Amino acid sequence: MQTSVWPIDPDHPDASVIARAAAVVRRGGLVAFPTETVYGLGADATSPAAVEQIYVAKGRDRDDPLIVHIATIQELERVATGVSPLTRALAETFWPGPLTVIARRHAGLAEAVGGGRETVAVRMPSHPVALALIQAAGVPIAAPSANRFMHTSPTAAKHVLDDLDGAIDLVLDGGPVTVGIESTVVAVEGNEVRILRPGGVSAEELAAAVALLDADATVVEASGTQASASPGTLSRHYAPGIPLTLITGPGRLAVAAAEYVAAAPPSDGLALCAPDSASDAIRGVVAVERLGPEDAPAVHAQRLYAALRALEGCGANRILAVYFADGGLGRAVLDRLRRAAAEVIEVQG
Ligand code: TXA
Ligand code: MG
């Protein structure tokens, strides 16, 4: 298959380009498109054959369910049933934007989007290209991140092609994305809002919204076995093509990292990925990707995946990532680095 790449203005997408891309979706094809978080690999969520093609193209496990994307809040009822009032209120608060909610799956959707579950994950993205494509297609669009299964998520069209060229019909190239890390996935159970995957909406933002919406409700972070309620959150996800060692914790990370680099044999060919200050403090690596100022987690999120992809292709043999955060968007960045890591070194205070 020949994969086409069509440039598109991210803020004011050309209606005729969108109409042609929507036609590809309607006839069951695969179209990669930008969202504010990462590029998605889209197909008609109501077509079993189209959804099957997503799993084939990505090499994705069949029990790893997909997010269904809609263009208006009203469409939530078209893809889900029995949506709880708190779930709906959270959608109304954070949509369009990087929040995904879980609800009971509507019979109109292809069963395969649920990966064997009765539920469906739903999100209304804010990216103008994504919204225009869903609207023009006239169907909800199932879209996982547009990378090979388990690999680093794509934040630019080039990353999509690096993984999926020849396996999909089309890439809409709207330039680099803004958030850079996937949506936050939540499931409401009774009075509990469970974070199944940290992402573009921080736990603090969620807690603030939940406190206003329902005084009795609480936000909890699912971990370990609970998080396997969201199977895509398995460890060893998001992994770059070369092994990654993560140095993390509340301790003196730059010191620990400098010692680690000094002790590593030169044949390790270590490349570094860290916020600016740590990057400046650590010498003796073969390449560096700077994630931005220490106190700018939104910048870290935006740069993370492109940085990992740059380092896996730079000739280095291993990546050393140095990162810690105990709140905000940095939590999602740290979550992804932990899942990308083959080895984690904890440095206590
Ligand atoms: O930002 C995003 O969420 C991006 C863009 C393209 O929208 N999409 C994305 O999709 O990250 P994907 O497939 O790479 O990750 C979907 C996540 C996985 O962790 C999966 O387990 C979870 O959502 N998920 C999907 N359906 C679910 C369900 N029914 N129940 C629980 N978790 C679900
Ligand atoms: Mg993914």
The pLDDT tens digits of the residues spanning 58-103 come to 999 999 999 999 999 999 999 999 999 999 999 999 999 999 999 9
Q: Give the closest residue (by CA) to ligand 1 atom 18.
A: 232
Classify 64 as helix, strand or coil.
coil
| Identity of the amino acid at 245 | T
Residues in the chain: 349
pLDDT of residue 237: 76
Token representation of residue 223: 């971990």
| Averaged pLDDT for residues 18-38 | 98
Q: Which atom of ligand 1 is nearest to the CA of 231?
A: 21
Query: What share of the chain has pLDDT > 90, as a percent?
Result: 93
- What pLDDT band is residue 146 in, cutting at 50, 70 and 90? very high
Report phi then psi at 27, rounded to 5.
-90, 15
| 121 in contact with ligand 1, CB cutoff 6 A | yes
Flag whether pLDDT at 266 surpasses 90.
no
| Ligand located closest to 103 CA | 1
Place 334 in a pLDDT band, splitting at 50, 70 and 90: very high
How many angstroms does the Cα of residue 242 sit away from the middle of ligand 2? 18
Determine whether the shortest distance from the Cβ of 34 to ligand 1 is under 6 A. no
The pLDDT value given to residue 235: 61
Q: Decide: 67 in ligand 1 pocket, CB within 6 A.
A: yes
SS3 137: helix
Atom of ligand 1 nearest to the CA of 119: 29
The bound ligand whose nearest atom lies closest to the alpha carbon of 111 is 1
Please give the pLDDT value at position 234: 53
Residues 6+ apart with CB under 8 A from 153: 38, 39, 145, 146, 147, 159, 181, 182, 238, 305
Centre of ligand 1 from the C-alpha of residue 219, in Å: 19
Q: What is the pLDDT of residues 230-257, one digit of tens each?
A: 554 556 678 899 999 999 999 999 999 9
Atom of ligand 1 nearest to the CA of 181: 1
Q: What is the pLDDT of residue 228?
A: 53
Q: What is the model's pLDDT at position 68?
A: 98
Extract long-range pairs of 208-214: CB within 8 Å, 24+ residues apart: 209/90, 209/93, 209/94, 210/86, 210/90, 213/86, 213/89, 213/90, 213/93, 214/86, 214/89
Q: Is the beta carbon of 114 within 6 A of some atom in ligand 1?
A: yes
pLDDT recorded at residue 222: 83
Question: Hey, which residues does 67 pair with through a beta bridge?
Answer: 121
When pLDDT is cut at 50, 70 and 90, the band that residue 47 belongs to is very high
